[in-house]
Chain A
């Protein structure tokens, strides 16, 4: 079974600054997908960014970027120029065989004005 570990239960960041969320995972697979999902308070979960394991280039989506270290099984998320709307719980997730997501416990991010 795959395990996803998020070691930071909570993070706080000043508006316009940068915050990095860590995630490690354990798998024996060589092909898989990694995701970061965002769950705002009382709102539905939405995809922030995805990374295919076979791609060496780190994914980027506007202010969100990842640092994917396959050998170390590490997948961190950097949020640049943090905005108040980024306040949410962030989940790292792993998918193999293209169909089932396994989630970490989440990191609560609070952006301070």
Chain B
């Protein structure tokens, strides 16, 4: 079990550029989540997948944000036309949908985005 991995760990970009983050969940987990965390705050829910289906999107996820999980394994989060307000840590998490540890989320180390 290698845990949840995210790439890149850090991304610095100029305003208006597009960025993409990748998340590889724990292999047997069928649920995958994206959260956004700003400095000194708790994570805010962005979106959630059950296998390849995107089942919920937060209102925080504007039209510039898109997430995919094409084969029910890894996921990507793309931000188009980045703005300075997009600067944050983007966290990915995965979980089981049944069993004793249902509901427990396993987090990656996050991808930190800085928009200049």
> A residues within 8 Å of B by Cβ?
4, 33, 35, 43-47, 50, 91, 93, 95, 98-106
**Chain A residues within 8 Å of B31, by CB:** 99
**Chain B residues within 8 Å of A44, by CB:** 3-4, 107-110
Q: Which residue on B lies nearest to A43, using beta carbons?
A: B109
Count CB-based A-B contacts (< 8 Å): 51
**Chain A residues within 8 Å of B74, by CB:** none
Q: Is the CB of B103 within 8 A of A99?
A: yes
Q: Is the CB of B109 within 8 A of A50?
A: no
* Contacts A98-B102, A100-B56, A106-B40; A45 near B45 (Cβ below 8 A): no
Chain A interface, DSSP helix/strand/loop, else mixed: strand
* Contacts A45-B91, A99-B48; A106 near B41 (Cβ below 8 A): yes
16 new A-B contacts, CB < 8 A, other than A99-B95, A101-B43, are A35-B103, A44-B3, A44-B107, A44-B110, A45-B107, A91-B42, A99-B31, A99-B50, A99-B97, A100-B56, A101-B45, A102-B45, A103-B44, A104-B42, A105-B41, A106-B41
**Chain B residues within 8 Å of A43, by CB:** 109
Nearest-Cβ distance from residue B4 to partner chain A, whole angstroms: 8
Q: Is the CB of B48 within 8 A of A100?
A: yes
**Chain B residues within 8 Å of A100, by CB:** 33, 45, 48, 56
- Is B105 an interface residue when CB atoms closer than 8 A count as contact? yes
Number of interface residues of B (CB under 8 A): 24
Complex Cα distance, B50 from A46, in Å, reads 21
Chain B 47-73 near chain A by CB (<8 Å), digits 1 or 0: 010100000100000000000000000
Complex Cα distance, B93 from A99, in Å, reads 11
- Is B28 an interface residue when CB atoms closer than 8 A count as contact? no
Contact sample, A vs B, 5 pairs, CB 8 Å cutoff: A43-B109, A44-B107, A100-B56, A103-B43, A106-B42
